[in-house]
Structure 1
C-alpha cells in the first residue's frame, strides 16, 4: 500500500475538516481472463491489486456533508435529503450514487465529510470507479453501524454505477475490489456471486501492465450496446443469460441474428470456457497453457467482440514477438486502457523497453508500464 498516499489523504482531511478520520483502502483490480462475461452471468478471474483508493471519512455536526476529491482539488457540499445525479461524467456521481442506494434500503445516514484520492492510473481499466464506490459504502457502513454485509455493499456499489453513472456494469469490479485476497486470484461465478480463490504462483514469471494512455470515446455507449446484444440473443435462445448457452445452441439461431452479433455471442460463450480452463491451468501450474488462453482471449476481443483498438492490438503483437512473454491481452471494457502481460522475470526490462520504444515510434505517444502485486480487498487501514 502507498504510505505516501495514505499520509496525503489523512493530512488533507485534517486540514479541511479539523478532525481525525477513519481511513479506508479499497483496491483496484486486474482481470487475468474472462472479459465481458460478468454481465452474462459467467465466470471471471480477477484479483485485487496494491493500487487503489484511500478514503478518509468522519461524521460531522454540520447540516450538510462535504466530499473532497483530493487529486482534482475539488470539494462538493450536498444535503443527504436532496441527492440527485450531477452532470454526466462528474466524479461526485460515484459518491452520490452510493448514498442514494443506501438510503433506498431505508438505512439512516447522518452528515459526514469524506476526502479521497488514489494511485490507480486513470483510464487503465483497473476499476478505480468500483474502488471509490466500495470505499464510500464501506466507510459509511462503519461510521453509521449500518450492518451491511460485504455482499450487500457490492450490490450498492454496482447499483450506484448503473443508476448514477449510467454504466450497466457487471459485478466483477466491485466484487474483486471488496473480496480480494493477497497473492490470490478469484474464480468468480457472476451468477451465484461466489468465488473460489486460487493462490497464484507465477514462479519465474510476473504480471506486467502496459497502459496505452488512450481512451477512445465510444467506450460507455459501446459497452451498453454489447450488453443489449447479449441479452437479446439470450432471449432468442430462451435462456436467462449467455452463460447457459453452448456453441451448438447458438448455431440453432444463426439465421436469426446478424453475423456480427453472432460473433459477439460466440465470443462470450468461448471466453466463459477460457476462464474456467485458466483456473485449471493455474491449479496445474501450467503457465504456458494460461498464456495461450490469454492470447486467445485477446484475439476474440479484437476480432469477434470488437472492443479492442489499434494501440492495444499493437502492444499484443509486440508481446508475440518475444517468446519470453507467455500471454498478453487487452484488459477491461476496451477501446483503450491496458494490456496485461505474463512475462519471464529476466525479460521484464528488455520487453518493457522494446515495447515502449516501438509504441512511441508507431503512435508518437508514450505508453506506461506498471508492475502490480495482488492484494487484500477493501479494509480499514
Structure 2
C-alpha cells in the first residue's frame, strides 16, 4: 500500500465523490551534467522514488478542477478559458495550454495531486507535476503521444507559463526513468542511453540545505543568457554550432577579452562540464565509482566558482563531504542557490555521515539539515 497514493485518492473521493485513476510521476536526481541541458550538452539523471501522485478522472462538464493536496489549495477554470495565473497554477495550466496548441480535445476533469518531494530541493517537483499531468491526460483522453513528445511539451509549458527557460533534462528523466539505471541524455539530439548504476556498497545521499531558490526570480535565466551571448560570439569566430563542438577551453581563450567576465566564466564551465559528463559515462562503463565521484567534486567547483550558482550553505556541505573518508563524490545538485547536495557515501557509513553533517550544519547555520537515501525508479506511469 502506498500512503501517498492513498492520500490523493481519498482526498479526490472526498472532494469529487467519484473514483479516479492514480498515476505516479517521479522526481529526479542528476549525477553530473548540471546547467548543460539547455546548452546542447550531455546530462546523467535518474528518476527517483520520491515524486508526485495524481488522482484524475473526467467529470462530464466543461470545468477543470484542481486541488494541490500539499498546499490545501484548489481552483477551477472553464475548459475554454485558460488564463495565466499565479504560483503552482501556472505549472498545470501551462500543460493544458500546450495540449490545446496541439489541437488536443480536452473536456472537463478533476485532479488531486500531492507528493513527497521537498520544495526547492532541486529534485524537480515542477517537472514531476508537469510530466505527470501530461502523461495522465494523454492516457485519459487517448492522445497517443510518446514520452519524448510529452517531455518536450512540458518544457514548452514551463517556458511559456511559469517563465523558466529550463532545459529538457528534468521532464525527460521523469518520463523516461528506469529503475536501477541512469540515463545519458543527449540534449542536442534528444535521445538517451541507459547505464546500469552499480553502486557496489555505496549509496546516493541527498543533503537538503533548506535554503530555497526561486528560478523564476531571474538568476537561472541570466545564466542562460550569458551562455547564449558567449556562444553567439564564438560561432562568429569558430566553425562550431554549439558548446559541445568545443572540446577544450583553450579554444576560447583568444576571445576572452571580447567577453564580459561572467560570460567567459559561464562558457568555460559549460565546456568543461560537457567533457566531465562524457568522462562520467566512461567511469560507469568501467565500474569506477571513485572516478565518477572525483568528477562530481570538480563539477561543484565549477558551479560555485565559475557558474556562480553556489551558496555558502551548499559549499559548506560539500566541504564536509570532502573531509569524510566515507564519501567519494559530492556536489550541489539542481538549479543552484541552495537545494540539495548529492553525495556518494559508503552504505555502512551513511547514518554517521548524515549525523555529522547535521551537527556541523546546525552549528554553522542554525538550520536543521535533512538527509535522504535515494533509490532509482521507473518513469511516470499509471499505478492503479
TM-score, normalised to structure 2, is: 0.96
Match of 2:200 in 1: 203
1:323 CA drift (Å): 1.4
Residue 147, structure 1, aligned to residue 144, structure 2: yes
Please give the alpha-carbon distance, in whole angstroms, between the structure 1 residues aligned to 2:152 and 2:80.
22
SS of 2:309 mapped into structure 1: coil
Match of 1:16 in 2: 15
Residue 41, structure 1, aligned to residue 46, structure 2: no
Match of 1:244 in 2: 245
Match of 2:67 in 1: 68
Match of 1:163 in 2: 160
SS of 1:110 mapped into structure 2: coil
Residue 257, structure 1, aligned to residue 256, structure 2: no
Please give the alpha-carbon distance, in whole angstroms, between the structure 2 residues aligned to 1:86 and 1:220.
16
* Mapped contact 1:59–1:113 kept (Cα < 8 A): yes
* Mapped contact 1:219–1:335 kept (Cα < 8 A): no
Q: How does 1:271-282 map to 2 (within 5 A)?
A: 271-282=273-284
Please give the alpha-carbon distance, in whole angstroms, between the structure 2 residues aligned to 1:336 and 1:250.
30
Judged with a 3 Å threshold, the aligned counterparts in structure 2 of structure 1 residues 306 and 233 are, in CA distance, closer, same or farther, namely: same
Q: Which moved more, 1:125-134 or 1:59-68?
A: 59-68
* Mapped contact 2:120–2:213 kept (Cα < 8 A): no
* Mapped contact 2:177–2:379 kept (Cα < 8 A): yes
Please give the alpha-carbon distance, in whole angstroms, between the structure 2 residues aligned to 1:309 and 1:360.
16
* Mapped contact 2:90–2:162 kept (Cα < 8 A): yes
SS of 2:299 mapped into structure 1: helix
Judged with a 3 Å threshold, the aligned counterparts in structure 2 of structure 1 residues 218 and 98 are, in CA distance, closer, same or farther, namely: closer
Residue 187, structure 1, aligned to residue 184, structure 2: yes
Please give the alpha-carbon distance, in whole angstroms, between the structure 2 residues aligned to 1:72 and 1:254.
47
SS of 1:51 mapped into structure 2: strand
1:254 CA drift (Å): 1.1
Please give the alpha-carbon distance, in whole angstroms, between the structure 2 residues aligned to 1:184 and 1:159.
27
**RMSD across aligned C-alpha pairs, in angstroms?**
1.2
1:324 CA drift (Å): 1.4
Please give the alpha-carbon distance, in whole angstroms, between the structure 1 residues aligned to 2:336 and 2:355.
24
1:15 CA drift (Å): 1.4
Match of 1:52 in 2: 51
* Mapped contact 2:184–2:195 kept (Cα < 8 A): yes
Please give the alpha-carbon distance, in whole angstroms, between the structure 1 residues aligned to 2:131 and 2:260.
39
Residue 332, structure 1, aligned to residue 329, structure 2: no
1:320 CA drift (Å): 1.0
Match of 2:125 in 1: 128
Please give the alpha-carbon distance, in whole angstroms, between the structure 2 residues aligned to 1:131 and 1:259.
35
1:197 CA drift (Å): 0.4
SS of 1:169 mapped into structure 2: coil
* Mapped contact 1:237–1:249 kept (Cα < 8 A): no
Please give the alpha-carbon distance, in whole angstroms, between the structure 2 residues aligned to 1:236 and 1:50.
42
Judged with a 3 Å threshold, the aligned counterparts in structure 2 of structure 1 residues 39 and 380 are, in CA distance, closer, same or farther, namely: same
CA displacement 1:142-165 (0-9 Å, x = unmatched): 111111111111111111100001
CA displacement 1:317-366 (0-9 Å, x = unmatched): 10011111001100000001000000011211111111110000000111
Please give the alpha-carbon distance, in whole angstroms, between the structure 1 residues aligned to 2:17 and 2:65.
13
* Mapped contact 1:356–1:367 kept (Cα < 8 A): yes
* Mapped contact 1:210–1:370 kept (Cα < 8 A): yes
Please give the alpha-carbon distance, in whole angstroms, between the structure 2 residues aligned to 1:352 and 1:380.
34
Match of 1:320 in 2: 322
SS of 1:136 mapped into structure 2: helix
1:218 CA drift (Å): 6.9
SS of 2:227 mapped into structure 1: helix
Listed as ranges, the gaps of 5+ residues in structure 1 are none
Judged with a 3 Å threshold, the aligned counterparts in structure 2 of structure 1 residues 123 and 216 are, in CA distance, closer, same or farther, namely: closer
Residue 302, structure 1, aligned to residue 301, structure 2: no
* Mapped contact 1:125–1:337 kept (Cα < 8 A): yes
* Mapped contact 2:61–2:107 kept (Cα < 8 A): no
1:285 aligned to which of 268, 284, 287: 287
Please give the alpha-carbon distance, in whole angstroms, between the structure 1 residues aligned to 2:187 and 2:15.
40
Please give the alpha-carbon distance, in whole angstroms, between the structure 1 residues aligned to 2:41 and 2:112.
35
